[in-house]
Structure 1
């Protein structure tokens, strides 16, 4: 049994360090204190379908599913470590309304989404913008944490005061 746990620790450590090889976007989890602000900015309703592109450990999806179990949540992650973490969390604490997918979100059809959450670098946002303009239905909402599209003006900017060592955060809200 000790050998199993030793191999498990080694495997997870390797996944953590190998993760950056799969994506140019690092796994940076959103602080739990910011979750409610993000959920509020999304303005979800019972018919919402939330996509989290680069969902990391799935904390946004699980927080939404906990506050409103009728909302369908889809997360996609390309990094093996955060993907496995999200899958494990979904098995033990998740909801039937939360799906975690492994893959490249640039290849994902986003047309079913009514709401999308992003915590991505500006380069990734700018690459996604034409895709969103083509695929998203009128009335869809996109909330981006800390970074904005360079070629689209946000409908609203929400300032979140500093949380300890972290600088102020901004949520950029876009209505398509």
Structure 2
């Protein structure tokens, strides 16, 4: 069973994105382990003396580096991701690189009818930044629109078609995770062979 890190893009109480990441954790319980991290107590990012990280950041970075992949649920604020999620990425790319080549699945929930398409597009570009260098699948965004009415009292998505859509995307994501793992192995072998050639020369 694969192990994933779940990140909610907001710290707001009652957030539907927090509901979504918990739904994903529970929905996948028989297929994957999703560990939801908490970055709500991290300070606003600013450069620190000697690049020191706030308490808890390195522990989360280590979990991300060790995980098979990451699942993120982001709201959309002013056509982009919220400050809380930007802050999380700022600390997790400050002298450390836990997302390097890490497969990431992007999801999001929004009160409106258009979902979180713009925020997810911006998030995809952020994840592609050299300091982060994560890997995402093309055309794989999962969006929950009108999210205030999307969940039942147990936190499950009401719409069976939406659940089916998530299951299809997650199945594709798992294949993507396997492919990225194989690619990493090939790269390691290639680097080792190149090192041997260099030593021989």
How high is the TM-score relative to the length of structure 1? 0.37
If you compute each CA radius of gyration, which structure gives the higher value, 1 or 2? 2
How high is the TM-score relative to the length of structure 2? 0.34
